[in-house]
Amino acid sequence: MLYSTIRFIAKGWVYTHLVAPKLHFTYFGFAWIKPLPEVWMYGVFGLMVLACVGIILGCFYRVATITFFLTFTYTELIDITYYLNHYYFVSLVAFLLIFVPANRAFSVDVRRKPHLQQNEVPAWTIGIFKLQIAIVYFYAGLAKMNSEWLLDAMPLTIWLPAKTSLPVIGFIFKYKITAYLFSWAGMLFDTFIVGFLLWRKTRILAYVAVVVFHTLTALLFQIGVFPLVMSCCVLIFFSAEFHERLIPLGNACLGGHYAPLKSWRKVTTAFLVVFFAFQVLFPWRYLLYKGNLFWTEEGYRFSWRVMLMEKAGTATFFIKDTKTGREGAVPNRQFLNDVQEKQMAMQPDLILQYAHFLKKHYAKKGVTNPEVRAKVQVTLNARPSQLLIDPQVDLGKIQDGWKQKYWILKMKKAQ
């Protein structure tokens, strides 16, 4: 994560993503989270770097984990258009790290206060990470069990042919069968990999599969540091002896045990149960909504639906002065950067947020009680573009919520 944070700063994303935009798309219920002025924003990132170093060295561990969790999650919550499943994963893991004693060996903290040294930890402190990783893979596998992924090999049929220029293996991507192979392999891998990792006999093979899988995805798609993150996290499935062999200085002296205060233990347990129950149940909320999940995206996020569809839209907004009846088009580039525009144009809840922003903006500019309409043409998995939402509805009058969005049009079946 140290690498990732420095990469984010080095690429100038602090400015382009968080400081420069005129508006930010917020998470439902988190609209109160606002970006800080530029200098402070760099301060937050600086703090994040320090916290990373602290965690790696095991130095002021608890303070470092809490700081990292807060700063990282804060920067993620500023703008929903940068939502990535792996950022969500990092936030969750950072949160879990707060509770475990990962600073009790090979750490600066031990050097500072030798009595903290301990070489055994309760099984739960490792178990929770295994469970966390299991949830990620298993739900990602479940999400791939849909007819478009398995029967039409979508969206890989679109994505792979664009990669024929890769050296050595590039040529295989022009064959349609490759897309089918990759689709099925991906689904089976995600669903069963944790099982193979847990079973000692297949563990090494399974880990090789993990590395191969993530290396391939890293080569094929622009997914930043995610493959590296997962490849490393999965190492937790290996035994303690294995890890110590990796460290030449490792000494396997046993002794000492970790005994949290009884009262704390109860609170922690309750907390973790809620934490995981939420993760297990929340992804299923999509069942409560009518319509095609990929089309409406009602209940799509926070569900480990990773690289599941090729979707893109073009959204034109119209502002009408209700007094003069004059209507004009909105130049999106004036308000949004490329990433924001792209993400907004296919996700109904973001379209609504943007509409509300526009209503306020143009009311301030002297348009009387502005009416906001949008013509949004969206293509999903190579289908011809069609209207996503009702172009006649005044979006300014609609409030966001958990209820079914009736203004989303039904997706027409392909001819």
Partner 1 sequence: MRKYFVIMFFALACGLSACSNNDVAVNDNGFDRGTLLVNVADNLIIPSFQDLKAKVAALETTSNTFIATSDATNLDALQSAWEAAMTSFVKCSPFAFGPADLPLGTFVEVLGTFPISTTKIETNINNTGFNLSASFDRDVRGMMTVEYLIYSLNGDAAVLTNYGTGSDNRKNYLKTVITEIKTNIDNITTAWEGAYRTTFTSNTETSAGSPISLLYNSFVKDYENIKNFKLELPAGLQAGQTSAEPTKVEAYYSGISLTLIKEHFATTEKIWLGTGLNGTDGIGFEEYLNAVEGGAALVTQTKAKVAEINSAIAAIPAGRLSDNIGSTQVSAAHTLMQDNTANFKSSMSSLLGISITFSDNDGD
Contact of 118 with 258, CB cutoff 8 Å: yes
- The separation between CA 339 and the C-alpha centre of its own chain, rounded to angstroms, equals 15
Task: Select 113 or 333, whichever has its Cβ closest to partner 1.
Answer: 333
In the bound complex, what is the minimum distance in angstroms from residue 12's beta carbon to partner 1? Answer: 8
Task: Select 291 or 391, whichever has its Cβ closest to partner 1.
Answer: 391
Task: Select 121 or 158, whichever has its Cβ closest to partner 1.
Answer: 158
Task: Select 104 or 320, whichever has its Cβ closest to partner 1.
Answer: 320
In the bound complex, what is the minimum distance in angstroms from residue 307's beta carbon to partner 1? Answer: 6
In the bound complex, what is the minimum distance in angstroms from residue 363's beta carbon to partner 1? Answer: 10
The DSSP result for 60-107, as a single string, is SHHHHHHHHHHHHHHHHHH-GGG--HHHHHHHHHHHHHHHS-TTSSSS
Alpha helices in 100-164, H assignment, sequence order? 108-112, 123-144, 147-151, 156-159
Contact of 389 with 371, CB cutoff 8 Å: no
Instruction: Give 376's strand partners.
Output: 315
Contact of 77 with 70, CB cutoff 8 Å: no
Contact of 340 with 333, CB cutoff 8 Å: no
In the bound complex, what is the minimum distance in angstroms from residue 415's beta carbon to partner 1? Answer: 9
In the bound complex, what is the minimum distance in angstroms from residue 55's beta carbon to partner 1? Answer: 21
**394-398: long-range contacts, CB 8 A cutoff, minimum separation 24:** 395/351, 395/352, 395/355, 395/356, 395/359, 396/355, 396/356, 396/358, 396/359, 396/370, 396/371, 396/372, 398/352, 398/355
Q: Which helix (H) or strand (E) holds 319?
A: strand 311-320
In the bound complex, what is the minimum distance in angstroms from residue 150's beta carbon to partner 1? Answer: 7
Task: Select 224 or 250, whichever has its Cβ closest to partner 1.
Answer: 224
In the bound complex, what is the minimum distance in angstroms from residue 256's beta carbon to partner 1? Answer: 40
Task: Select 70 or 193, whichever has its Cβ closest to partner 1.
Answer: 193
Task: Select 105 or 358, whichever has its Cβ closest to partner 1.
Answer: 358
Angle 61-78/85-99 helices, nearest 10 degrees?
A: 160
CA distance 374 to 351: 8
